[in-house]
Amino acid sequence: MNLKEKIALLPNEPGCYLMRNESENVIYVGKAKNLKNRVKSYFTGAHNEKTTRLVSEIRDFSYVLTNSERESLILESNLIKQYLPKYNIRLMDDKTYPYIELTKEAHPRLQVIRKKNVKGKVFGPYPNVYAARQTTRLLNRLYPLRKCDTMPKKACLYYHIGQCLGPCINKKVDYEDTLSQITSFLKGDTKVVLSRLEEEMIKASAEMQYEKAGEFRDMIQSIDSTIEKQIINLNDFKDRDIISFASNQDDISLQILMMRQGKMVDHHQVVFAYVGEIIDEVMSYLQQFYDQMQPDEFLFSDRFNLEDVESIYGKKAVIPQIGDKKKLTDMASKNADYDLEHH
């Protein structure tokens, strides 16, 4: 199949694409709201010198479908750091997504950071620094954490308005419950905070404090847009592979999404003809693929039987039914289905 034929089969969906040269090395990684339109654009019309050089080297490409454009943005960053493609190096150096750090100090703070080599708990990445700062401001308003970079000698305004526990004047301050709630929120469990904001909004509206009610409404909307969960990254630093397959009478499509240190950084996709039982062929392929090394965890789609995968991989094997891990296996299934239909 030549490039033109392969482009014609691309989906009109969001995702990331990986351009490869004649040595099969990844030379460029990009993201797209519409994969077909974006990849097709490289091979039509006039381009600048750098893009023209890139196109002249492209001999093949692969892609990963995502659930949203925002997810593809984060995946793109991970893939660039993994492959270091020569046409992305400047982008990689210039474009680092922001994170939120919950510091590990005796009296912790929230701060927006760019690099992750810090001692505290790190959450993200966020799509842009505005989103990260808005989230930090929201949490600082709702929870009485320390706000000052350096400890003052006397209580500041935040203490007097109830937005700080005043560690500068109170030697014994218990942060355990506050830190637990903030951590849950930053991991994506927004129910407690949203409920609290909705109560405050209703109360302000009932008291005819409409401007204040509007502020709470804006906070709720901000959460929806800035704390939208990204299943591309899980903040647990585990190595895991997400596996699914699709099949018809002739072929099997196998999709493996690879997470390292909690970030999706690579994928492996293959379509092959089979003889005999489908699941036996799939398991045989996986045994060969993982002969030398295995990740900390395997997430299998519900197209697998738990007994089959546990018999080989033991407790490393999970078939998730709910939550982010289920969304990851659904993403693998979506890619396997598309590859089978269009290979």
User: For the residues 204-230, what does the mean pLDDT come to?
Assistant: 81
For residue 162, name the pLDDT band (cuts at 50, 70, 90). confident
pLDDT of 89 above 60: no
Kindly report, residue by residue over 276-314, the tens digit of the pLDDT.
688 888 988 888 788 777 888 999 999 998 888 888 888
Distances (CA, A) of 181 to 107, 124, 194, 224: 16, 17, 12, 18
pLDDT greater at residue 343 or residue 56: 56
The pLDDT assigned to 94 comes to: 40
Lookup result for tokens 């301050």: 173
Can you say whether the dihedral through the CA atoms of 157, 163, 165, 167 is positive or negative?
negative
- The set of residues, in sequence order, having a beta carbon less than 8 Å from that of 295 and lying 6+ positions away, is 238, 239, 240, 241, 258, 259, 260, 316
| Contact between 122 and 101 (Cβ < 8 Å) | yes
For residue 92, name the pLDDT band (cuts at 50, 70, 90). very low
User: For the residues 26-35, what does the mean pLDDT come to?
Assistant: 90
The pLDDT assigned to 93 comes to: 42
Q: Where are the beta strands (DSSP E) in the chain?
A: 15-20, 26-32, 60-65, 99-102, 110-113, 121-123, 240-247, 251-260, 263-273, 297-300, 317-318
The pLDDT assigned to 291 comes to: 73
- The set of residues, in sequence order, having a beta carbon less than 8 Å from that of 315 and lying 6+ positions away, is none
Q: Lowest mean pLDDT: which of 65-69, 145-149, 170-174?
A: 170-174
pLDDT greater at residue 86 or residue 58: 58
The pLDDT assigned to 248 comes to: 92
The values of phi and psi at residue 83, to 5°, are: -95, -20
- Four-way CATH pick for 3-94: 3.40.50.300, 3.40.630.30, 3.10.20.30, 3.40.1440.10: 3.40.1440.10
DSSP 117-149: -SSSEEE---SSHHHHHHHHHHHHHHS-----S
Kindly report, residue by residue over 108-129, the tens digit of the pLDDT.
899 998 776 678 888 876 766 7
pLDDT greater at residue 156 or residue 331: 331
Share of the chain above pLDDT 70, in %: 92
What are the residue ranges spanned by the domains of the chain?
3-94, 96-185, 191-226, 240-342
pLDDT greater at residue 19 or residue 183: 19
User: For the residues 168-173, what does the mean pLDDT come to?
Assistant: 74
| Contact between 243 and 312 (Cβ < 8 Å) | no
Kindly report, residue by residue over 219-275, the tens digit of the pLDDT.
888 776 655 556 777 767 788 999 999 999 889 999 999 998 788 888 899 999 886
> Across the strands, what pairs with 60?
20
pLDDT of 141 above 70: yes
| Contact between 19 and 34 (Cβ < 8 Å) | no
The pLDDT assigned to 97 comes to: 66
Whole-angstrom distance, CA of residue 15 vs CA of residue 48: 24
Long-range contacts of 170-177 (CB under 8 A, 24+ apart): 173/107, 175/107, 175/108, 175/145
For residue 202, name the pLDDT band (cuts at 50, 70, 90). very high
The pLDDT assigned to 229 comes to: 57
Q: Where are the beta strands (DSSP E) in 194-336?
A: 240-247, 251-260, 263-273, 297-300, 317-318
The pLDDT assigned to 144 comes to: 82
User: For the residues 211-215, what does the mean pLDDT come to?
Assistant: 90
pLDDT of 36 above 50: yes
Report which residue type is found at 154: K
CATH number for the domain running over 240-342: 3.30.420
Kindly report, residue by residue over 313-343, the tens digit of the pLDDT.
888 899 999 988 999 999 999 999 999 998 8
* Widest pairwise Cα distance in the chain: 77
Lookup result for tokens 């960053």: 77
| Contact between 113 and 99 (Cβ < 8 Å) | yes
Can you say whether the dihedral through the CA atoms of 107, 108, 113, 119 is positive or negative?
positive
pLDDT of 80 above 50: yes
The pLDDT assigned to 221 comes to: 80
What is the rounded average pLDDT for all residues in the chain? Answer: 85
